[in-house]
Amino acid sequence: MDQGEIRSPSPIQPVSTFVDTYPVVLSALRMASPGKSDIIISIRQPHLDHVVSLKKNHEFRKYLLPSSVKRFWIYEPNPVSAIKYIAEVSNGKRPGEIVDGGFIRNSDFNEGKIADGNFAYKILKLERLDTPITLSQLKAKGWLLGAPQKYSYVKEAMARDLRDMKTTAISAHSLPIWSEDNPEHERKESTLRATGGSFNLKNIFELAEIKIDIRSFLSDKPKSPGNRSATLSGRVRKERKK
């Protein structure tokens, strides 16, 4: 190239709109790079049984977790010694900030009667691992050195190896409880029931496509229910002509 010649810049490559097009997949992809959003935390009995049976909807701790924490990988201590559940949780709340609702220990927390419970984390969604992850496996993989004493962040290698794991929804069995503070939760749980209460990445991709098709169809805004089928058939004819 001559010294006086100015090279035109390379054309900007189009940026994929994958994330914008498939919002349903976003929550699943977070598992591939958890950063500081996922922690392994131990919950002892009988508190864990109360959570699983939906009699308790907050986990109480004396410490405030970083606001980046969105998920608990729940470890059941000895004699089980395994991660058995995953819970999506709220940020920490202080006494007086939670709704009692008749759940175990909520009233005591609001009144400041839980000595080791300065902060409450609401369980927004709860899922059971179809195959628990034992402490022996955690140590063998280098994901933990021993049973969690306080909490440990989930390592990227662990999240990557477990991205295809299957879970079964527990909170879906009691929608009125979990939709209390989150109006979007009932819609999400209906999606889980559509997959038989369990999911994997393939299910999520399929549901994302269905969601987009429905959104596109509804954008026509038919004036009456009788016109809805005609609108849909018209869309099909247009697609065929293309």
Antiparallel, parallel or unpaired: β 119-134 and 198-199: unpaired
In total, how many domains does the chain have? 2
User: Are residue 109 and residue 160 in the same domain, yes or no?
Assistant: yes
Average pLDDT over residues 181-187: 45
Quote the pLDDT of residue 159: 92
Quote the pLDDT of residue 201: 45
**How many CA atoms lie within 13 Å of 226's alpha carbon, on the beta-carbon side?**
0
Average pLDDT over residues 172-181: 39
User: pLDDT tier at 17 (50, 70, 90 boundaries)?
Assistant: very low
User: Are residue 145 and residue 209 in the same domain, yes or no?
Assistant: no
Nearest to 166 by CA among 132, 124, 135, 206: 132
User: Are residue 142 and residue 215 in the same domain, yes or no?
Assistant: no
User: Are residue 99 and residue 216 in the same domain, yes or no?
Assistant: no
Instruction: Identify whether 8 is part of a domain.
Output: no
How distant, in Å, are the alpha carbons of 52, 166, 167, 173 from that of 48? 6, 21, 17, 17
User: Are residue 185 and residue 217 in the same domain, yes or no?
Assistant: no
Instruction: Identify whether 7 is part of a domain.
Output: no
Residue 174 has pLDDT above 60, yes or no: no
Quote the pLDDT of residue 2: 52
Nearest to 75 by CA among 34, 114, 129: 129
User: Are residue 126 and residue 228 in the same domain, yes or no?
Assistant: no
Quote the pLDDT of residue 34: 62
133 near 82, Cβ under 8 Å?
Answer: yes
Q: Which CATH number fits the domain that encloses residue 177?
A: 3.10.590
Average pLDDT over residues 184-213: 45
Residue 131 has pLDDT above 60, yes or no: yes
Tell me the residue length of the chain.
242
Instruction: Identify whether 10 is part of a domain.
Output: no
Instruction: Identify whether 52 is part of a domain.
Output: yes
Helix (H) or strand (E) holding 101: none
User: Are residue 205 and residue 130 in the same domain, yes or no?
Assistant: no
> Scanning the structure block, which residue is given the tokens 């049976």?
53
Residue 72 has pLDDT above 70, yes or no: yes
> What's the domain range around 180?
18-199
User: Are residue 80 and residue 141 in the same domain, yes or no?
Assistant: yes
Quote the pLDDT of residue 4: 52
Nearest to 135 by CA among 92, 46, 75: 75
- Global pTM value: 0.60
Quote the pLDDT of residue 241: 53
- Give every CB contact of residue 60 below 8 A, 6+ residues apart in sequence: 105, 109, 114, 116, 117, 119, 120, 121
User: Are residue 92 and residue 192 in the same domain, yes or no?
Assistant: yes
User: Are residue 100 and residue 24 in the same domain, yes or no?
Assistant: yes
Amino acid at 142: G
Average pLDDT, the chain: 73
Work out the percent of the chain whose per-residue pLDDT is above 70.
56
